[in-house]
Amino acid sequence: MRPSIIKIGFLRGGLEIKAFMRQRESVVFTLFFPVMLLFIFGSVFKGNVSPGVTFSQYFVAGMVASGLVNTGFQQLAIMIPIERDFGTLKRLRGTPISPISYFIGKAIVVFAAMVTQVGMLIGFGAALFGLNLPTTADKWFRFLWLVLLGSVCSTILGIAFSAIPKNGRGASAVVSPIVIILQFFSGVFFVFSTLPVWMQQFAALFPLKWLTQGMRSVFLPDSFATREVGGSWEIAQIAIVLIIWTIAGTYLALRTFKWSDK
Amino acid sequence: MANELAILVQGLRKTYSSKASGKKAAVAGIDLEVARGEIFALLGPNGAGKTTTVEILEGYRSRDEGTVKVLGQDPAKLGKNSWAWRNRIGFVLQSTNDSQDLSVHETVHHFANYYSNPRDPDSVIEEVGLSEKSNSRIQTLSGGQRRRLDVALGIIGNPEILFLDEPTTGFDPEARRAFWDLIRKLRDEGTTILLTTHYLDEAEALADRVAVIVEGKIVEVATPISLGGRNTAKARITWLENGIRQEIASDSPTAEVEKLSARFGGEVPELSVVRPSLEDIYLKMIGKS
């Protein structure tokens, strides 16, 4: 009898969370960095981006969205090549484990980090920068599916992208600039509608812009929707773009995933 | 199928091409047959093609030519059943450096979940001699202890074949002895073992048969004692006579020594009788003597 692929995936998830929690530097960096950014930006930009919407309010929406990209895509696209170098993947390849179990384990550790990070952002934002939380069940429900879909999409794309860096040492140099540029282009640090049109159009090809927009629809008042480039929140488009990227990412991850560099 | 071969290799070839050195045949036509329950050693200098050969058998590398069957299946064409094949095989690879932040106990217990019929994790930890280190983080283990953990993870699935790629590199002598005992015990339980090593004493101590591999080719397959005709080779007799060292080679050294003893009327000065060591034979085979 083959041991259950799902069960092994969850066992790996538990083990990876344990290993992650024991790496103090990465815990601090991954979980506190967005909060530090919020603290810096929130302290520098005190003004409003539109009547009744503080910069901190706008920024938290963007940071929650990019938190999903950081803990998922960025973390995995850097970690997996390192694990390949260390022989972790080669050893797993020699066991009966299915790659699916490995992916599930990664998704679980990513999801745990995301939930913690998002919780901290919202908590600090509310405590220190007067962040207004959504007040309707409707918006909380939207928040929930955005986090779920966003984290799955981000995880899958991180696994798919992990085939590109040649080795662990170079991975960060390949992956980090992509994420930072996308953050700027997608309206995380600046109000999206004030960016040049070519930047907006480029960003619209990638999921982060849509995730950020979705998070704005959760954290900003509906009156802000008219200031979006499309004149509305475009919720359906957000879901469609994320789903398309998830499907494409799954296809790529299964096709290109490499246990070793040979 | 008790008589089924554990490993069958015919005409195996693998060529690498690199910009620096052009095309190089790492494996240049190898034939091997390993019976079930046997400890088979691949012995050769670094770069001889041992690891390439083993990694092809393990399914890690592709090959250019030849037939390969491990437990009756071609490692390059496993398809959907790859898990069932891997469920029956254990690997101890060269130089892995993973799971630094987990303990020995956590790691071995976790890997046991991957197999349909694993060994008891605690007794495996005991067998490889890591009981005292069971709750230590892997990053605190010495090189030899890490290698024993690798072995623990290689045998946790209760494999029918165990691949060991240079398993005792970095061991102190005591740890090597303990490791050899463990390998013999596994063989006695019916595990087939394919070992690569560049330690002659290891091949001699463990292997039922040894294949010497040089520049991608097998030069000889034999039992360690008969390798290179060592068992029938002439013995070298040397002694001191009139201040000069004398030397003869003989098929019947006992008779020669008796004659010498009679001539000297008892003790022969600085007498020594030596048969070629495995090392002499091996160095001759790899062209280094």
B193 domain residue, yes or no: yes
Q: Does B99 touch chain A (CB under 8 A)?
A: yes
The structural domain count of chain B equals 3
Are residues B203 and B81 part of one domain? yes
CA dihedral sign of residues A62, A67, A72, A74: positive
**To which residue do tokens 């003597």 refer?**
B289
- pLDDT for the residue numbered B232: 79
Distance CA A62, CA A75 (A): 18
The secondary structure of residue B265, as a DSSP letter, is T
Are residues B199 and B263 part of one domain? no
B20 domain residue, yes or no: yes
Q: Taking 60 as the threshold, does the pLDDT of residue B251 lie above it? A: yes
Distance CA B277, CA B227 (A): 10
Are residues B37 and B75 part of one domain? yes
Helix (H) or strand (E) holding B195: strand B192-197
Reduced to 3 states, what is the DSSP secondary structure of residue B29?
Answer: strand
- pLDDT for the residue numbered B40: 95
pLDDT band for A192, please (50, 70, 90 cuts): confident
Q: Does B157 touch chain A (CB under 8 A)?
A: yes
Q: Taking 60 as the threshold, does the pLDDT of residue B62 lie above it? A: yes
- Alpha helices in chain A, H assignment, sequence order: 5-21, 24-44, 55-68, 75-86, 88-93, 99-128, 137-161, 168-185, 197-203, 207-219, 235-256
- pLDDT for the residue numbered B211: 93
Are residues B47 and B122 part of one domain? no
Q: Does A227 touch chain B (CB under 8 A)?
A: no
Q: Name the residue among B4, B6, B2 with its Cα closest to residue B193.
A: B6
Q: Check: CB of residue B91 under 8 Å from CB of residue A100.
A: no
Proportion of chain B above pLDDT 90, given as a percent: 44
Q: Does B58 touch chain A (CB under 8 A)?
A: yes
- pLDDT for the residue numbered B272: 92
Average pLDDT, chain B: 88
The length of chain B, given as a count of residues: 289
Q: Name the residue among A78, A245, A94 with its Cα closest to residue A163.
A: A78
Q: Does B101 touch chain A (CB under 8 A)?
A: yes
Kindly report the backbone phi and psi dihedral angles of residue B266, in degrees, each rounded to the nearest multiple of 5, phi listed first: 125, -125
Are residues B214 and B141 part of one domain? no
The secondary structure of residue A72, as a DSSP letter, is I
Distances (CA, A) of B194 to B43, B55, B207, B209, B221: 11, 12, 9, 10, 14
Encoded amino acid at A247, one letter: I
Give the nearest chain B residue to A82 (CA atoms): B98
Q: Taking 50 as the threshold, does the pLDDT of residue B191 lie above it? A: yes
Task: Give A-chain residues touching B165 at CB under 8 angstroms.
Answer: none
**Tokens in use for A258?**
């490499």
Greater confidence, A230 or B200?
A: B200
Kindly report the backbone phi and psi dihedral angles of residue B85, in degrees, each rounded to the nearest multiple of 5, phi listed first: -70, -45
Cα angle vertex A171, ends A170, A177, to 5°? 100
Q: Taking 50 as the threshold, does the pLDDT of residue B1 lie above it? A: no
Q: Taking 60 as the threshold, does the pLDDT of residue A224 lie above it? A: yes
- pLDDT for the residue numbered B98: 74
Helices A235-256, A137-161: crossing angle, 10 deg rounding? 30
Distances (CA, A) of B232 to A62, A195, B250, B279: 81, 87, 11, 16
Are residues B15 and B34 part of one domain? yes
- pLDDT for the residue numbered B3: 56
- pLDDT for the residue numbered B78: 83
Q: Does A26 touch chain B (CB under 8 A)?
A: no
**Residue B57 sits in a domain of what CATH number?**
3.40.50.300
Mutation choice for B interface testing from A95, A259, A261 by most B CBs within 10 A: A95
Distance CA A146, CA A125 (A): 19
Q: Check: CB of residue A76 under 8 Å from CB of residue A162.
A: yes
pLDDT tens for residues B155-185?
A: 999 999 999 988 887 777 887 888 899 899 9
Out of A182-186, A242-246, A254-258, B198-202, least confident range:
A254-258
Task: Tell me the β-bridge partners of B137.
Answer: B103
Are residues B253 and B219 part of one domain? no
B240 domain residue, yes or no: yes
Distance CA A153, CA A73 (A): 8
- pLDDT for the residue numbered B88: 94
Distance CA A48, CA A54 (A): 4
CB contact under 8 A, B93 and A91: yes
* Cβ partners under 8 Å of residue A225, min gap 6: A217, A231, A232, A233
Encoded amino acid at B262, one letter: A
Are residues B279 and B262 part of one domain? yes
Reduced to 3 states, what is the DSSP secondary structure of residue B46?
Answer: coil
Reduced to 3 states, what is the DSSP secondary structure of residue B143?
Answer: helix
Q: Taking 80 as the threshold, does the pLDDT of residue A257 lie above it? A: no
Burial of B27 (0-12, 13-18, 19+ CB in 10 A): buried
Quote the domain boundaries for residue B140.
Answer: 94-159
Distances (CA, A) of B261 to B23, B234, B245, B273, B274: 59, 20, 16, 13, 17
Q: Taking 60 as the threshold, does the pLDDT of residue A174 lie above it? A: yes
Q: Check: CB of residue B45 under 8 Å from CB of residue B198.
A: yes
Are residues B193 and B82 part of one domain? yes
Greater confidence, A9 or A84?
A: A9
- pLDDT for the residue numbered B184: 92
Average pLDDT, stretch A10-15? 95
Out of A33-42, A119-128, B55-64, B125-134, least confident range:
A33-42
Average pLDDT, chain A: 86
Greater confidence, B282 or A14?
A: A14
CB contact under 8 A, A90 and B115: no
Distances (CA, A) of A191 to A40, A153, B140: 17, 24, 49
- pLDDT for the residue numbered A35: 85
Reduced to 3 states, what is the DSSP secondary structure of residue B128?
Answer: coil
Q: Name the residue among B283, B166, B171 with its Cα closest to residue B219.
A: B283
Average pLDDT, stretch B203-222? 91
CB atoms within 10 A of CB A74: 22
Give the nearest chain A residue to B138 (CA atoms): A19
- pLDDT for the residue numbered B289: 56
Encoded amino acid at B273, one letter: V
**Tokens in use for B231?**
């068992």
Mutation choice for B interface testing from A23, A27, A91, A102 by most B CBs within 10 A: A91
Q: Does B188 touch chain A (CB under 8 A)?
A: no
